[in-house]
Each structure stands twice: as structure tokens, then as C-alpha cells.
Structure 1
Amino acid sequence: MVAFARVVAFCSWPVVVPPVAAVVLAATWGRKPHGVVLVLVALALVAAVIAAVHHAEVVAHRVGEPFGTLILAISVTVIEVGLIVMLMTTPGQPADTLARDTVYSAFMIVCNGVMGLGLLVGALKHRVLRFRVEGVTGALATLTSLATLTLVLPSFTTSEPGPSYSTAQLAFAGVASLVLYGVFVFVQTIRHRQQFVEEQEPYHAVPPSARDALISLGMLIICLVAVVGLAKIESPAIERGVKLLGAPQSVVGVAIALLVLLPETAAAVRAAARNRVQTSFNLALGSALASIGLTIPAIAVAAKLLDQPLTLGLPAKDLILLTLTVVVSVMTVAPGRATLLQGTVHLSIFGAFIFLALTP
């Protein structure tokens, strides 16, 4: 019976997906797949992203804090940066604005889509939701500062033409982003950890064994390689699909952000449904912080090494939506409790973001 259970565990989807994705990558690398094969590549890419986040969470649970949070954040960042760089280096892709569109989309998806859906689901089951104001406002303040440094200020600087940073300004923004993210992780996991936990101390699951953690580490590495490679294969099809639909190129950034944030979104909504809103906010805002605080410095380095232009400043429409999101988010978290109304407001802004991304 024990042997059968081990066989079942070994054949579970998180263990099966990485080698399958690697096989798909090996079979299609250097080719230009079409039709059914292209669909299989896309499915393998999505499955590899979800499996990578799962294995990163297993390893993070084993090593504990603060290294667990860093492992998860770095894994998600590798996926996001890999997708962006592969698309940036594909001829015909909007290389200069792709990073901006992806990071901005991650901000809007988290602060409106994930938070709104979590509040809506939680409030429908528990009416009034409560959380720790100091923890959520600290995360929101850090996220707002990162978004302003990387997405807003480039539209108003004058050292370079257009909404772009000069090399010195980009270096400063990258270092500042790393410092802000690093200090936030230190505060969240060590210095003021009590501000980010549920008021009722949650049940702590038994960490995985060293063997399981090593298996997940190996599977994580396979997934990360597969994601980057499959993204390179899929990128021409993404370009053709955007042109066929007549959608603006910024939709590519929205798609990348949705794909990368999918696992954390599901976990955040499940936590809110169990009336663990603080945990839900930690998952959501933590993903957005990593998306900006780690992705922008990495993309800045990659852009300089690849000699690619990098446009970070948002256009007026997106600046207005970002400002509205920050104001509404502050008003949502300030009382320390939320209801159905707050969830609906955030989802309405999220709907406007998606609609205007498709029809600018």
C-alpha cells in the first residue's frame, strides 16, 4: 500500500509536467511548428509555468523564511524575465515597451483583479473581512513607490527624449528597486513579521522532507529552462495572433502578466475564501512587488547587454488608471476591514483596464 502511494505521488502532475515540457522543447527547438504542434507547445508552456511555481513553493516551505520568500520571488522573476527577453529578441516584437507593459499589467492585475476577486469571494462568504492595516499599507506603500520610480517618472524626465530613462537614471531606478524590495522582505519575514500574519495564528503545515525538496529543486530548474525555451518557440505565433486579432501590442504584456500571476492568483483567492485575507494580500502584493522590484533591474541589465531600447514611462491613459488604483487601494485598506463593495470597485477598475487594453 505504501509503495502504491509512492508511485501515485511520483506520477502526480507536478512531477510529470517538467520532463514532458522538456521533451516538447527538445522536439520543437530550431523548428517552426504550426497547427496542433503549436497548441501543444502553448499548453506545455502554461503547464511548465504553473509547475515551476508549485515546486518553488515546496522548496521555499522547506528552507523557511526569509530564504523561502526569496526563492519563490526569484523563480517567478526568472519566468517573467525569460518570457520578456525571448519576446524582446524576436524580430517584429515591440521590444522597447514590452517590459513596461508587462510590469504595469502585473500591478493592475494584482491591485484590482486579484485583490478585487479575493475581497468579493471572501465577503460573499464572510460578510466583513478583516486584516492587519500596518502590514498591508506597508506593502502597498512599497509597491506604489516602485511603480512610480519605474513607470511614472520616466514620462517626465528630460535627460532622454521620450518616456525613457538615461543610463544613469535607469541604474538608479534599478538599485532603488532592489533596495526597496530587499528591505520589504526583511521587514516582512524577520524584523516585523507579526504585522504580516493572521490575527489568529494559522496552522503550520509540516515542511516537506529533504528528499522531496531536492526533487522539487531539480524539477524547478527543468521548468525554468523549459519555460524560456518554449517561450522562444511560441513568440512568433504570439506576434501573428496579436496582428490577426487587430489588438495593440500591449496585449502581449497583459498576457505574460496573467500567465505568470495565475498560480498566485488562485492561491490568494482560496485564502480569501477561507477568511484568511491577510494571507491573500501577502500573496497578491508580494507577487506584484517581486514583479517590479526584481524584474525591472533584470530587464534593465538585459536591455543594455542586448543593446535594446527600453521605454518605461506610461502613456496618459495608463497613468490615470494607475493613479486611480493607488487611491482606491489606499481607501480600501485604511480601515482594516472590507466588504462586498470594495471588491466590486476593484473589479470594475480591472474591467476598465482589460477593456481599454483591447480597445485603447
Structure 2
Amino acid sequence: MAPRPRTPYLHWTSALPVLAVVLLALVWGRSLPTPLVGLVSLFLAGAVLAAVHHAEVIAHRVGEPFGSLVLAVAVTVIEVALIVTLMVDGGEKSAGLARDTVFAAVMITCNGIVGLCLLIGALKRRLAVFNAEGTGAELATVATVAGLSLVLPSFTTSVSGPRFSGPQLIFAACAALALYGLFVTTQTVRHRDYFLPVTTAGEVIDTEEHADPPTTLVALRSLGLLLLALIAVVGLAKAVSPTVESGVVSAGLPSSLVGVVIALLVLLPETIAAVRAARRDRIQTSINLGLGSAMASIGLTIPAVALVTIWLKSPLILGLSPSHMVLLTLTIVVGTLTVVPGRATLLQGCVHLTLLAAYLVLAVSP
């Protein structure tokens, strides 16, 4: 269901972001005992859910495809803030954190979110229908930026290791930012109709008929509460991150698993919103959320991390391992075959989810 146009001021979605920010102020910079980590984690999850609600209110006000961008950019701000904060605190041991998190985001969005929504759409209406032109443009952009940012560093020879030299890193950051800007312009201005939802009957949906959009005042209030929720998510996630990192190390798991945890956390709002859209026969909206988040994750995270590493003169590892390159290649090939017909069955959804499962298994046991 779409969010209601008006939300009571004492509703939990209004109160929780404020309480989460208050809790953040109380725990900031302190070592947290285990019981307090549990409390912070609960407020963190609540802030994520509140962010979903308020982003959907704003999205319902501005309409598609602008609405899909609201949540995509919001969660990417969380991701960038977490990565930069942990990189500044972690030094050389966090040199590969940006790569791990961005690749995890690509796999979760392109296989997890897209696959789950295709599966839901196919189970409810036998076929999940979407616009092949818009979805193909999204996938092509994601594949290009992912290849330039995450695959190419493993094959360059200017510096040793899977890293870019200074000029190469600047080019990759500028290319990612430029392609993201073109992607947003294409989605919202020049070819907006390619990214509008399409029903199973083939009807393009330009407006939501089942609910009146919220007023400007309600949308602005949700914008303020969304910003508070995002601040709370970033701050509280940083507060519990030492516990997560120490838990990963003590369990003998790869350090790259921290990037997976970050990506899972920041993409939870996208996943919830995409599933809700799929249940309403808005598969194109779900795909916009999934692939748009992948594009925002690379297009905004790589330039931000590049600036930080150049400023701090810290190492940055971007090149993927051979097994991850195989998974990325399979994701692009399977995604292309899924997109071309403009409709998908539950088989395609399960194939994408299988690729995500393979990635998660390799993340735990490389």
C-alpha cells in the first residue's frame, strides 16, 4: 500500500527518528557494553524503517521516476558516510572496504532486490512485466561503471596490486560521476516514460490512482524526519561497527564480510520499498529502486572515496578477485537476458537469487 498522505505527529515514524538522534548524542564516542549494543541496534533498525516510510511519502508526492531516486540517493548517503568514517578510523586495514561494500551493493541490488521482486511479480501474476528500454539503459550503465571501477584496476600496470594510479583514479571517479548524472537526467527528464511502471496488461502508470498524494507541508515534514533518520542510521551504525568488526574477526571470518554487513544494512530500506512496489504490480518501480541504487552506490561512492583517499594519501584497493569477477560477469549476462524480453517468469527471479546466494557463500568461505 502507498503511504497515507497524513501521518500523526505522535506516530512512531515521527517519534523514532528524534529518539534515535537523542540516543546517538548519548552514546557518541563511547565504548558500548553488549546490552547497550542491543538497544542501539534496535533503534538503528527502527530508524531504517522510519527512513523507508518518509522516503515513500516524499516519493508519493513527487511521483515516478523521481520518487525512486529519493530513496536511492538517501541510502547512498548512508553508505558513503559509513565507508568514509570507517576508512578514516581504520587506516590501511580498511583499504579494500569501499570495494567490498560497493561490490556487495551491486550483487544485492542486481540479484537480490531485482530477483526477489521478479519472483514476487511472477508468483502473483505469472509474469513480471517491465519496460525493457529503461531497464536496459540502467543495466548498461551499472555494468559500465562497475567494470571501470571494480574490474579494470586488477589489470592496470602503473602501480602494483589491484589499484589505480592517481590519474587513473581521478578518471574513474569523474567517469562514474558523469555517467550517474547522465543516468539521472535520462531517467527524470529526457526519457522519463521509459522508467514509468507498466502493469501486466501493458498499461503505463503515470500517477497513483489509489491514494491522493500528500500535501507539500506533509512532504516537507517527512523530508526533515528523513534527514534525522539518516543521521541516526549513520551515527548508530558507526557506534556498533566496532562490535561488528570484532565479532567478524573473533569468528574467523574474512574482513570483507564487514562490507557485506554495511551493504545489507544500508540497502534494507530499498529492499522493503521495492518489495512493496512489486506487490502492487509496479515491477518497473522495483527495478528502478534496485538498479538505481546500484548506480548510485558506484556513481557516488567511488568519487567520494577517491577524494578522501587523495586527501588523506591513504591506500585504496578497488580491483576484484577472480571469483568476484566471475560473479559480476554472470550477473551482467543473466541481467541482460532477463531485460531483453521486457517480462520475466519466476525462473529468472530464482536465477538472480541463486547468484546472490553464491556471492554470500563465497563471502563467508572465499
Question: What is the TM-score when the length of structure 1 is the normalising length?
Answer: 0.92
Q: Tell me, in whole angstroms, the C-alpha distance in 2 between the residues paired with 1:178 and 1:108.
A: 20
Q: Is the CA contact 1:130–1:337 (under 8 Å) kept in the aligned structure 2?
A: yes
Shift of 1:69: 5.6
Other-structure match for 1:201 = 204
Report whether the alignment pairs 1:231 with 2:237: yes
Mean CA deviation greater in 314-323 or 280-289: 280-289
Other-structure match for 1:131 = 130
Q: Tell me, in whole angstroms, the C-alpha distance in 1 between the residues paired with 2:56 and 2:120.
A: 24
**Runs of 5+ consecutive residues of structure 1 not aligned to the other structure:** none
Residue type at the aligned position of 1:231: A
Shift of 1:142: 0.5
Mean CA deviation greater in 90-99 or 308-317: 90-99
Residue type at the aligned position of 1:113: G
Q: Tell me, in whole angstroms, the C-alpha distance in 1 between the residues paired with 2:113 and 2:24.
A: 31
Matches within 5 A, 1:108-187: 108-187=107-186
Shift of 1:114: 1.2
**Runs of 5+ consecutive residues of structure 2 not aligned to the other structure:** none
Say how many residue pairs are matched: 355
Instruction: Give the match's secondary structure for 1:208.
Output: coil
Instruction: Give the match's secondary structure for 2:317.
Output: coil
Q: Tell me, in whole angstroms, the C-alpha distance in 2 between the residues paired with 1:160 and 1:227.
A: 37
CA deviation map 1:283-306 (0-9, x unaligned): 111111111111111111122223
Q: Tell me, in whole angstroms, the C-alpha distance in 1 between the residues paired with 2:155 and 2:91.
A: 28
Matches within 5 A, 1:1-360: 9-62=8-61, 71-91=70-90, 94-197=93-196, 198=198, 199-202=202-205, 203-204=207-208, 205-360=211-366
Q: Tell me, in whole angstroms, the C-alpha distance in 1 between the residues paired with 2:265 and 2:92.
A: 18
Rate the CA distance shift 1:53–1:259 in 2: closer, same or farther, 3 A. same
CA deviation map 1:258-305 (0-9, x unaligned): 111111112222322333222221111111111111111111112222
User: Could you tell me the percent identity over the aligned residues?
Assistant: 57
Mean CA deviation greater in 296-305 or 148-157: 296-305
CA deviation map 1:232-259 (0-9, x unaligned): 3212111111012221111111111111
Shift of 1:10: 1.3
Instruction: Give the match's secondary structure for 1:90.
Output: helix
Q: Tell me, in whole angstroms, the C-alpha distance in 2 between the residues paired with 1:171 and 1:146.
A: 14
Shift of 1:155: 0.7
Mean CA deviation greater in 43-52 or 340-349: 43-52
CA deviation map 1:179-205 (0-9, x unaligned): 111111111111111111124233425
Q: Is the CA contact 2:69–2:289 (under 8 Å) kept in the aligned structure 1?
A: no
Residue type at the aligned position of 2:13: P
Q: Tell me, in whole angstroms, the C-alpha distance in 2 between the residues paired with 1:120 and 1:68.
A: 23
CA deviation map 1:194-241 (0-9, x unaligned): 111124233425332232223223223322332332233212111111
